[in-house]
Every structure is written in structure tokens, then in C-alpha cells.
Amino acid sequence: MTRFEHTPVRPVIRIRDLTMAYGAVDVLHGIDLDVHRGEVFALLGPNGAGKTTTVEILEGFRQRSAGEVRVLGADPERGDDTWRGRIGLVLQSWRDHPRWRVAELLTHFATYYPDPRDPAELLALVGLTDQADRQVNRLSGGQRRRLDVALGIVGRPELLFLDEPTTGFDPEARREFHLLVERLARDEGVTVLLTTHDLVEAERLADRIAMLVGGRIRACGTPSELARRAAARAEVRWTADDGTPRRERTADPSQLVWELHRNADGPITDLEVRRPTLEDTYLHMVHRAADGTDEAADREARAA
């Protein structure tokens, strides 16, 4: 499909040397990022890493300190109504329009756009047909979020922002939500920028993942690229002759195991070779940057 081809079209999101400071404190230290049309891109990072700040700059809700940002070809700080109409937002803290009925709300928001989706079809797409006449504040958390997605895509946006979309979901709701996002990207060519601190979700949904830790992009690539990078150093564990547990990190686990066997009299107790997962790389990066990050997180929270 087109989404895997390299097209000369300019990226949907283009960020160059983006910095953000609250007062004297830097929250983002020079971010570069390109997100291409039709791509599901995950911005992964612990709380306070700068994800929200980055996304709010892209959404046009926050003024950056410096750097170049283009979203759908325009500077978000000067995005007009036409530009807004091409973007969809799904935030985690929306509790708006509690008294409205589901179909009523969706039909109403369709009137703001020049070429909206059919509300009834959209309700079917997000699986809320049975709840069409229900009052919005009577929906479950998962249903509410799916309604938010429906509201986010009713104007046929080219770019959809999903902010920690499955926080608080049960596993089934989460799975359904993932299927919905996949369908949007694969069948309708919507570009999706997903922020999450959930690695499994990022791996499941994203074509590419950027790990944002302490205001810097520490790694960026497809899930398999990142996993390969992670697998570069495996961990070998065994129990030594004196009964103490041992572990060693190595780029060549086979070599190490071979040496162990050569030096041993017989089988080696509890021998285990662990290929680190994507999660290990992620946690490693988070811990490595932990000191700086915590500080930045506090400051970001205070500034917000």
C-alpha cells in the first residue's frame, strides 16, 4: 500500500530543532521529527518527558520557544479554520456535553465541516449504534473515548491526534480501540500521531515509534528496528559452581556460552540467554535519563 512507499510529498508533520522552555527551564531540547502521510506514529515516553508539550505545540494550543514546526504545511501557531478542519483531536480529559445524546452530538459536530462523514455510519464504525440515543454522561469510559474518536474524525481529518487513548480501558475495550485505529489508518489513509506511555500499545499500532525521554528523542524507528537495536546486547544468566547467581551482558551470547562450557566440567546450572525486548531498551533509556527527566517533569507540571 501507499503508506510504505517513499513519496516525494512533504511530511504531514515536520519538526526541526524544536525547543520549549518554561521560564528558565528547558522542557524540549531540540527535537527533529518527520511524520509521513498515512503513517501511525507513536510518541512514547514516561510522564513528564515532554510528550504533551510537543503534541500541544503541534495542535496549535501552545507557543513554542524556538524551532521550526509545520503541520499539514502550516505553522500551527497561525493555523486558521481551514487548517483546523483538517485535524482531528482525541484528548484524554474530555467530559464535555454531558447532557447531549450521542447521535445528537455527533450530528451537531458534523455541521461544522464542509464534507462530514455520515453520523450513522460513523456510529457503526466506532460501535456505538446501540448507544445512539443514550445521554453522553451515561456512557462507560471506553464508549466515551470511542465517541471522542468519532467526534475527532467526523470532519474527515487528514491527521488525527490521539492522546493516551486507552488509559483506563479494560483489555477488550482496548483491543477494539486498537482495531478501530488500525482500520482508520489502513483503510482510510488517516495519519495518526499517538502519544502513550504504554509500550505494548505503541508496538501494536505504530508504523514508527519515537522514544521521547527527558525532552529529547532518544530513539526513532520501526518497532522491529528498535527491537533489533535492543537485541544488540543480550543477557546471559547462570549459576556458578559455588552456587552464586551470575549474569553478564554481551553482544555475542553464543561466544560467552561456549566459553562457559569450555571452562566447565559439566552442564551449567540455570543457564539462560535473554534477548532484551523493546521494553528493556525503553526502560533502560528511561532510567538512564531518570534524574534529568524527573526534574523536567516537575517543572513542566508546575508551569502548566
Partner 1 sequence: MRGTHMTNETSTADKAETTDETPGGTKRPGRTARHWRAGLLRGGIELRHLLRNPKEMSGHLSNVVVALLIGAYISDDVPGTHTPMAHLVLAGFAAYLLFQIGLINLPQILVTEREEGALLRLRATPGGIPAYLIAKCLLVVVMATGTLALLLASAALLVDGPLPRGPGDWLTLLWVTTLGLLAVVPLGAAIGAVLPNPREALALIMLPTMALLFTSGAVFPITSLPVPVQQVASVFPLKWMAQGLRSALLPDSARAAEAAGSWELPMVALVLTAWTVLGFLLAVPLLRRAARRESGSRLTARHRRAARSGAMPA
Binding site for partner 1 (CB under 8 A): 52-53, 55-56, 59, 61-62, 72-74, 78-87, 89, 91-100, 104, 108-109, 111-115, 151, 155-156, 158, 163, 187-189, 301, 304
Give φ, ψ of 267 to 5 degrees: -60, 150
Cα–Cα dist 277/280, whole Å = 5
- If the CB atoms of residues 94 and 239 are measured against partner 1, the closer one turns out to be 94
- Given a contact cutoff of 8 angstroms between Cβ atoms, the answer to whether 110 and 119 are in contact is yes
Distance in Å, CB of 264 to partner 1, minimum: 56
Distance in Å, CB of 147 to partner 1, minimum: 11
- If the CB atoms of residues 90 and 211 are measured against partner 1, the closer one turns out to be 90
Instruction: Return the C-alpha cell found at 109.
Output: 459536530
Distance in Å, CB of 210 to partner 1, minimum: 19
- Given a contact cutoff of 8 angstroms between Cβ atoms, the answer to whether 87 and 59 are in contact is yes
Instruction: Return the C-alpha cell found at 7.
Output: 513519496
DSSP per-residue codes, 182-249: HHHHHHH--EEEEEES-HHHHHHH-SEEEEEETTEEEEEE-HHHHHHHHHTSEEEEEE-TTS-EEEEE
Distance in Å, CB of 95 to partner 1, minimum: 5
Residue 273, judged by CB atoms within 10 A of its CB (0-12, 13-18, 19+), counts as: middle
Dihedral of alpha carbons 156, 162, 167, 171, sign: positive
Distance in Å, CB of 25 to partner 1, minimum: 16
- If the CB atoms of residues 114 and 267 are measured against partner 1, the closer one turns out to be 114
- If the CB atoms of residues 113 and 292 are measured against partner 1, the closer one turns out to be 113
Distance in Å, CB of 188 to partner 1, minimum: 6
- If the CB atoms of residues 48 and 214 are measured against partner 1, the closer one turns out to be 48
- If the CB atoms of residues 115 and 172 are measured against partner 1, the closer one turns out to be 115
